[in-house]
């Protein structure tokens, strides 16, 4: 498989999630990882570094994140 990315930040050029980022994401949002697996079909370890950082930096709690994702899917955005 080949992949190309365009990034604006240095950390966005790293596709694989870093161990410390994954640990922080799980520490902050462990209560939705099982839901995430059911909804998306993969766990947090499959996120990119940038995706995980976005969730962490959003300062939203697990319920807000889950509700937002569900609302966006209902609108047909993904």
The backbone region for 20, taken as left when phi is positive above 0, alpha when psi lies in -120 to 50, beta otherwise, is alpha
Distant-in-sequence contacts of 30-34, Cβ < 8 A, 24+ apart = 31/62, 32/62, 32/65, 32/66
Contact 40, 32 (CB under 8 A): no
> pLDDT averaged over consecutive 10-residue blocks of the chain (78 residues)?
66 83 96 95 96 93 92 84
Q: What is the pLDDT of residue 76?
A: 82
pLDDT score recorded for residue 25 = 97
What domain range includes position 57?
Answer: 16-74
pLDDT of residue 4: 65
* Residue 6 is assigned to a structural domain of this protein: no
Residue 10 falls within a domain, yes or no?
no
Q: Please count the structural domains in the chain.
A: 1
Q: Is residue 64 part of a domain?
A: yes
5, part of any domain: no
The answer as to whether 55 is a domain residue is yes
- 9 falls within a domain: no
Global pTM value:
0.78
The candidate with the shortest Cα–Cα distance to 26, out of 54, 45, 41, is: 45
3-state SS of the chain: helix, strand, coil percent to 5?
A: 65, 5, 30
């Amino acid at each position: 498989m080949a992949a190309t990315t365009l990034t604006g930040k240095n950390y966005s050029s790293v596709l694989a999630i870093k161990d410390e980022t994954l640990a922080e994401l799980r520490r902050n949002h462990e209560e939705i990882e099982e839901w995430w697996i059911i909804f998306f079909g993969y766990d947090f370890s499959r996120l990119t570094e940038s995706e995980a950082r976005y969730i962490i930096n959003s300062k939203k709690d697990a319920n807000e994140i889950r509700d937002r994702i569900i609302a966006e899917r209902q609108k047909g955005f993904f």
